[in-house]
Structure 1
Amino acid sequence: MSTQLKQESNYGGRYTDPATGYTTGYYTLKQMKTLYPQGGYRVAGGIGKIKEGQYTVAQRLEDSEGHQISVYRGSEFKGLINSVVGYARVDDDVFVAVVGKRSHKTLVLALLGVALLAAAVYCALNWNTWFPQKLDIDPSAAAVPTQNVPQRENINIPGYTVITANTDGKTKWNLVNPEGNPCYFQVVVKTKDRNRVIYESKLMPPGSEIKDPELTRKLSPGTYDITLQYNTFELEGDHDPMNNAVTEAQLVVE
C-alpha cells in the first residue's frame, strides 16, 4: 500500500482525524454504489474511528501536510456509533474504508431496531403470563362422581375391548380420563385399515367422561379394527404435550 491515498477531484466526503489532524477526501457510500453497482472493488484496510484493541495496525499513512494515521487490517468495520461512511482510493479498484460517526438518521434507526428487538423478546417471554392460553375443553366432557383419588405421577390409560355403534354414528360407550391423572386427554379414534379418523375429542380434564360420543363418520354395519390415540397435555403452565399412547379395540356397527 502506498503511504498516501489518491485525492480524487470528485470525492464527496472529507475526513479529518481529530487526534493527528490527518485529512483525506473519500467517496461516499452513495458514490460507491454509482461507481461499482455490482461491487468488484477490494478493501485493503480501514482508517478513522476504529478501536485499536479490535484490529491490528497494518501501516501508517501520511497526508500532504505530514499528518499521519494508522491503517487497520480488515474489510468490514461495523459498530453501533461508528461505521463505514465511505472509501478512499489506494489504487485501481483498491480502497481503504473510512470509519466515522453514523448519521443521526442511521443511528436512530439502529437504536430503534435494538429497542424493537428487545421489546419483541420481552413480549415473547411474558406473552403467556399476560394472555393465558384458553383451553379448548370438550363441552361434552362431564365430571364423574369424585372418588378423591390423589394425583398420580403415571398416566392411567383406559382400555376398551369392544365399542358398539349404530349406522347413524351413535355409540354406546363412555370415554373417560380417569380421576388422578396428571394431564388432559385429547382422543383420536381411527380405523386401523385405512387410518381414517372417525372421532376426535377436544381436551378432557382428569375425572371427566364423554358419554356416548357420536362418530364423525357413518359406517356400514360390520366389525372394524380401530385405534385410540391418547394425546396428553400438562395441567399447568403452557400445557405442553406429554407422552402419548395408542390402544386397539373393535368397533361393532349394528
Structure 2
Amino acid sequence: MEYRYIKVEETQKKLKARDGSIWPYIPQKTFLEKEMDKESIIFGDVTGQVDESAPRLISMQQGEEKRTMRIRLYRSKLSFFDQVSGYMMAMAPTGKEGYVRVRKKSPLKISIAIGLLLVVLAGGITAALWDRGPSLDKNAIAYQMPGGIKNTDPESIMLPGFDTLVMNYATQKVDIALLNPEGNECLFKYHIILKDSGKELYKTGLIKPGTAVTSFEVQEKLEKGKYPIVVKVDTADLKDPEKLFNGGAVEAVLEVK
C-alpha cells in the first residue's frame, strides 16, 4: 500500500532518509500550536531507516526520481529513546488525507543513558578496586615469625631486626624474610640501600601483616665482599597506602659470597 506525500507550507524541517532522499515535514511544535492534531488521522511512523518488514510506503517525486520510504506501525507509547520530531501530510490510496509521524531517537536521552551507564561502570570499577584493596607484592607469601611471635598491641608497629644478609654471587639472589609481623595494623614496604652511595639495590611492593618476601634478586651486580647497607621500612595504612605512618631503618651488612 502506497501513500502519497503532500507538501504543505508548514514543512520547515527535513528528514534525511537512509537512501539520501530529503523529506520536509512539519515540526512537532508547529503541529501542536496550530492544533493540527485535532481529529487528524495518523497513518503510521517514519524514521528514515530501512525496514523491509513495513508493508506500507510513502512516496514523493524528487526531481525526475520517485522516492519512497517505509511507514512503520503507529505506536501510541514510544520507547524511552524515541521522540516525536514532527509530521508529514500524506494521502492514502483511498483519497483520505492524514499524517505520517516522524519518529527519531532523542540525542538527550541517549546522552543521559550513556552518562548513567558510565557512572554505573565507574562505580562498579571503584567498588571492585576498593573491595580488592591495595596492590600487594605478588612475591609475598604467608609467613610466621619463629615461635609464633606476633604483635599484640594494635597501637604499636613491630619491626623485625636484621644483621647480615647473604647474597649468592652466581645468582645475585638473597634468601631472607622481608616480613611484616602478624598483628601489625599496617602495610610494609622494604628498601635495601647501599649505605655509602645511597643506591637502592631492591625494593618490595606492599606487604600485608603475616606475609613476607623470602627471596629477592639484587638489581646491581656486586663483587664478592661485604657491603654496609640500610634496610629501610615504610609503613602505611592497610586500606589507604597513600597514608603513611612512621617507619624505620636499620643498618646491616650485605655479604656477597
Q: TM-score, normalised by structure 2?
A: 0.45
- How does the TM-score come out when normalised to structure 1? 0.46
